[in-house]
Structure 1
């Protein structure tokens, strides 16, 4: 069956269009001419026509059935040249053959119903699987992606949608063999690898300070350097401990005889010779050694400090530095301070060679700095190794991150896989069973078609149409086989072909009878038992009122069979603009068995078609029914018209009772007030027309309206028409 119809972007249907949802076995769509009914029937007849590319159908269990459409196009197509195509039925079959075909057809129905149930179960299992996957997808997104997106987002590149993230997680769960690492380690690695592509870092040059330490350890710094002891003036100089003072003053005596101390010409050549002898070559060599070592030391330390200062400046500005700048700066500051002290000591030694000094060695501080540089270069080497193998390292990190994730989410993934595998096993089993059913169905269907082919004929169709024509008063023509095999013609009583002399109403009636036979049979032997859907669009155009009831009666027989699931017609959708035909064909009477019919009204406002669904409530009612509905729902409406409504019902229903009704009915009431109310209600029918006073009403109080309603009810009771009153008021007499 068709479950829903969508019509848009065609004829009077705009881009929003209409949806006919909730279709059942029997469906009625009422609409005035030009509101879009034929567009619907044309679409159902040829869904693949390009102009309907925005329209769609939803089939029950996704199984489409053959759709047979009756509309104006059907009449023109099948009676355009005065001929009707042959319709095959089981006309020549024996009772035994028909029983065999019917039994196999029932078997086919059971087989199909079983297949439909299995398909429904399959769809249910597929839906459960989809729900399971959607729930798992949402959970992984919330629990994992949202948790790690800021820390490891680059590891999720290519999986930034819920579905792709879920698929990646399942893939990693089944294939990831990386070693499990801690979150902190991975986070630290991610700082280096993720983000900007890392660049190589130049290692820091190592420092050499062996010569500095060697100078610091030279024994000359502790040596007391003095002049030669066997010179005459040596005793005095040593006694007074003025070696350094005399040595400094000696430079002033080389070219002058004046004593630098007393300013007298007391400096003789002999004195000068003694001084030269006192400060001999050994003394001079030691002094030279002190000065040379001091100069070398100062140069080495200053160059090294300059180098270390340059390292500090560069590393502080370098964003990717691996050096612990705080430690480095502290070590360097201490080194500079120690070196300053040593320079003062060395200067003192040069000035006073006879002094013994203790140099503060820079070795410990330089060792700390050297170790810091060495450790930094180790980190730089690691970094450069990562850079050299960036893609490999990045992929390893990504796999390690997913390993951490799947380990954390292991329980949930395992449960999901178990549940999913169970559902998939069930789905595969059902698909296998359905395939087997389809194969079995195809074999049985082919067998039925072969049996049908041997016993079908178009002759019963001719006989049935002629019988219906005579039954409904069409006596001046009949259906006869045409000269061309497989076609019918219309023939007059005198034997002439009636193609050109038939009225439009006669043609309409004949083609509708032909449509009914086609609905029950088939255009070929193989399609006689084919399940189908009927779309009937205004079958009573150009027909008089008597034929209207004939057509409605024939359609109601079809409806009864469809509701009882008898025959091969599975669904009917009827569209009409005729109110009387709609009421007649949709009237159920006492035959209310089976599924309820569904109702819609199609309208066109501002050249745009719209539709309204009324479910099981028939929206097309007679004026008499509408009057009773006003009584039933009087509390929802104004009380202004209530008296007028009561009078009109009494006029319609009691007009057959004659003049005696007034006094007889009025006297049935015991109180004067009730008699006056009854008289006012009955006076409408007596006068037979509106008068000015009758049209003037004021809204009565609820108490007065209730009185009118009580008297109105009693009129039906006193005239023994309680059953009609209860029926029209929807009162269940069994519960009353």
Structure 2
């Protein structure tokens, strides 16, 4: 039994639509062009290349028989020789019993096989769901590293759209012995440097910092530079501790070549005689001048070296500049600035004793960081020269790191794969045993069928049904060249051509042939199997006089036949749809499922339908007809469906007889009559010409039918529906 039919990507099924059922009888209603025939084409050849986006579930071991235009064309149009139908002779009861027993055993085995397959499928689905969760977790790699700056996107090429491929790639990588010492951030930085350096000059090494140790430890800084102690003023100046003050006053404010006495720069009194100046000059002797000169030289050199240090912004231009370099640089500059302030103080007051902070440690730390950066620069320049190899190394490191980080997921996925393999192994053995037993039964059934099959019974049954329907002009008989072929014969015993039959006759004879085919087989060497029957609008070309006969035929051959496992009947006719529904609500609920196929701007869709919706559809036809803005073809089609339903089902009047009223023979009703009287909506000649459509003319003709037949009040009631 088919439990699910999914249709997608065919004709007007732009989006996936699903029919799910657990019933034997499935009635599907839909207007012409809604997509019914598309579903039937798929069921006739579910393995077809055009149906790759569609699938069916269930139906294990069953043969699907589909009655549609393709079936009629293949069996009747392509050759006048109709394939014979082999059926079991009822005369040999013993063979019939043996075949029945073998078929029953086969059915039991098929049920057992289906149970095994179902259990396997269920368990496999659970494992697949678990694996999908793991694969989804691993796919987080793609989400993390293909977005943002996308610098590591090259590591994911070929796997960004395929979750399974990414997971398989990661599983194929051996787990590192120890946790990698590098991080994703480091790999990103390396990749970024490589990509930004392509086509540019090599990276320049960072300038090292000179040592200041020899200057900073000079003894002169710890020495108080004062004048000669042999001077007359030495003791006095020392007591005042103002030698620097006196030196500055002497150098800056006393005119050495001016007239004497001069004014003292401090007290502004004319006290500076030649005698005093000489004693002051003796105090600031040559030794003092030498020490001052040396001090100035030391300070100048120290400052010059400081100024030769590159600015921080120069280091920051490098791809290999780091925050640690910036911190160490700032620390050194802080020390140097402090030392410079001390030197300025010493120069200003030579007698002041200072001690410079040793920069040795700060310089060494900064130079160590710069040396490490320079080593990386050398390596980087080499990698840029071999960029392809370098990027491949980053790719390898990246996946090695991912393998370590996602190890728990990979172990879980490998465990699930092992469980799936074990599950397949255990169930496959059981299923293979059952299949072998079924194969043996098939051989036995075929051998038994060869003893008793014939093509005569099908001929008799088809011809008997033709007589019941009042068709006497032609019949089926064995072909004159082969007992295994049929041909049409006129009542005059002259062979007939299928192409010369009316559309209704073609439909009747092909449907009767199909009914017998579902009971027998065209191949006597093929074992019997469960049978699923699909009928695509079997009354589309028939007048209402035959619809009851076809309904009775379907009830007896398929709906009430235990040999038929499942039936799908597609129709555009509400009357025929109603004719096939089970009257008893409980029986209908237990055995039948009702569906509707509809089409709108978004495509065709399949919906579950209730029994009460049949009446609602009649009302919906009126809604469309009463809306002048509805598409012309849809209005005309709904008018025909209303007339077909009302006069065929409610009034039990022949559809064609309705149009024999003289009032409807007026010339302006010709287009209306021509469209309404078409026997079928499925054949090519029924193309609707929009230029023929005149809403008011069609509406007047439509109204006139009800008035001429005595249903004026019904029309007035229904035309109010909006």
TM-score, normalised relative to structure 1: 0.59
What displacement does 1:48 show? 7.7
Alpha-carbon separation, structure 2, partners of 1:339 and 1:331 = 12
Provide structure 1 residue ranges, at least 5 long, that are not aligned to the other structure.
Answer: 228-235, 249-259, 263-283, 347-356, 624-651, 653-688, 697-736
Q: Which residue of 1 aligns with 2:608?
A: 613
Structure 1 contact 5–58 (Cα < 8 Å) conserved: yes
What displacement does 1:372 show? 0.5
1:425–1:525 CA distance, 2 compared to 1 (3 A):
same
Correspondent of 2:374 among 354, 377, 384: 384
Structure 1 contact 172–402 (Cα < 8 Å) conserved: no
Q: Which residue of 2 aligns with 1:372?
A: 362
Correspondent of 2:88 among 87, 90, 102: 90
1:380–1:98 CA distance, 2 compared to 1 (3 A):
farther
Structure 2 contact 86–521 (Cα < 8 Å) conserved: yes
Alpha-carbon separation, structure 2, partners of 1:606 and 1:397 = 52
Alpha-carbon separation, structure 1, partners of 2:583 and 2:190 = 79
What displacement does 1:292 show? 6.0
Larger deviation, residues 584-593 vs 516-525: 584-593
TM-score, normalised relative to structure 2: 0.60
Alpha-carbon separation, structure 1, partners of 2:602 and 2:162 = 44
Structure 2 contact 109–434 (Cα < 8 Å) conserved: yes
Correspondent of 1:207 among 208, 211, 230: 211
Alpha-carbon separation, structure 2, partners of 1:213 and 1:33 = 105
Q: Which residue of 2 aligns with 1:483?
A: 480
1:111-510, aligned counterparts within 5 Å? 111-136=109-134, 158=156, 163=163, 167=167, 171=171, 175-179=175-179, 196=193, 201-207=205-211, 209-210=213-214, 213=217, 216=220, 295=293, 298-311=296-309, 313-314=311-312, 318=316, 320=321, 321-343=325-347, 360=354, 362=356, 365=357, 367=358, 369-389=359-379, 402=402, 405=405, 418=415, 421-422=418-419, 425-431=422-428, 433-434=430-431, 437-438=434-435, 441-442=438-439, 444-446=441-443, 448-453=445-450, 455-469=452-466, 478-485=475-482, 486-491=484-489, 495-497=493-495, 508-510=507-509
Q: Which residue of 1 aligns with 2:571?
A: 576
1:144–1:77 CA distance, 2 compared to 1 (3 A):
closer
Correspondent of 1:60 among 57, 61, 84: 57
Provide structure 2 residue ranges, at least 5 long, that are not aligned to the other structure.
Answer: 197-202, 238-242, 248-258, 262-281, 381-389, 619-650, 652-709, 718-722
What displacement does 1:191 show? 9.6
What displacement does 1:27 show? 1.7
Provide, for residues 696-733 of structure 1, a one-character-per-residue CA deviation record: whole Å limited to 9, x for no partner. Answer: 9xxxxxxxxxxxxxxxxxxxxxxxxxxxxxxxxxxxxx
Provide, for residues 271-300 of structure 1, a one-character-per-residue CA deviation record: whole Å limited to 9, x for no partner. Answer: xxxxxxxxxxxxx9xx88876675455334
Structure 1 contact 596–616 (Cα < 8 Å) conserved: no
1:17–1:110 CA distance, 2 compared to 1 (3 A):
closer
1:62–1:388 CA distance, 2 compared to 1 (3 A):
farther
1:378–1:155 CA distance, 2 compared to 1 (3 A):
farther
Residues matched between the structures, number: 560
1:481–1:520 CA distance, 2 compared to 1 (3 A):
same
Q: SS of the residue aligned with 1:598?
A: strand
Alpha-carbon separation, structure 2, partners of 1:449 and 1:113 = 20
Alpha-carbon separation, structure 2, partners of 1:495 and 1:397 = 87
Backbone CA RMSD of aligned residues: 5.9
Alpha-carbon separation, structure 2, partners of 1:423 and 1:338 = 80
Alpha-carbon separation, structure 1, partners of 2:42 and 2:188 = 63
1:717-728, aligned counterparts within 5 Å? none
Structure 2 contact 61–530 (Cα < 8 Å) conserved: no
Alpha-carbon separation, structure 2, partners of 1:31 and 1:238 = 127
Correspondent of 2:105 among 89, 104, 107: 107
Q: Which residue of 2 aligns with 1:352?
A: none
* Larger radius of gyration between Structure 1 and Structure 2: 1
Alpha-carbon separation, structure 2, partners of 1:220 and 1:17 = 98
1:39–1:397 CA distance, 2 compared to 1 (3 A):
closer
Structure 1 contact 90–455 (Cα < 8 Å) conserved: yes
1:314–1:85 CA distance, 2 compared to 1 (3 A):
closer
Q: Which residue of 2 aligns with 1:257?
A: none
Q: Which residue of 2 aligns with 1:596?
A: 591
Q: SS of the residue aligned with 1:539?
A: coil
Alpha-carbon separation, structure 1, partners of 2:165 and 2:462 = 67
1:473–1:384 CA distance, 2 compared to 1 (3 A):
same
Alpha-carbon separation, structure 2, partners of 1:377 and 1:498 = 108
What displacement does 1:70 show? 2.4
Structure 2 contact 595–607 (Cα < 8 Å) conserved: yes
Structure 1 contact 466–478 (Cα < 8 Å) conserved: yes
Alpha-carbon separation, structure 2, partners of 1:622 and 1:218 = 112
Q: Which residue of 2 aligns with 1:511?
A: 510
1:6 aligns with 2:7: yes
1:582-661, aligned counterparts within 5 Å? 582-587=577-582, 592=587, 595-601=590-596, 613-615=608-610, 619=614
What displacement does 1:187 show? 9.4
1:136–1:207 CA distance, 2 compared to 1 (3 A):
same
What displacement does 1:308 show? 1.6
What displacement does 1:488 show? 1.7
What displacement does 1:160 show? 7.6
Q: SS of the residue aligned with 2:66?
A: strand
1:301–1:397 CA distance, 2 compared to 1 (3 A):
farther
Structure 2 contact 466–472 (Cα < 8 Å) conserved: yes
What displacement does 1:307 show? 1.5
1:148–1:325 CA distance, 2 compared to 1 (3 A):
farther
Q: Which residue of 1 aligns with 2:682?
A: none
Alpha-carbon separation, structure 1, partners of 2:71 and 2:188 = 75
1:523 aligns with 2:527: no
Provide, for residues 574-630 of structure 1, a one-character-per-residue CA deviation record: whole Å limited to 9, x for no partner. Answer: 23345554444334569949942122345678998776531566726999xxxxxxx
Q: SS of the residue aligned with 1:525?
A: coil
1:82–1:188 CA distance, 2 compared to 1 (3 A):
closer
Alpha-carbon separation, structure 1, partners of 2:433 and 2:75 = 40
Q: Which residue of 2 aligns with 1:27?
A: 26
Q: Which residue of 2 aligns with 1:536?
A: 535
Alpha-carbon separation, structure 1, partners of 2:143 and 2:605 = 46
1:691–1:516 CA distance, 2 compared to 1 (3 A):
closer
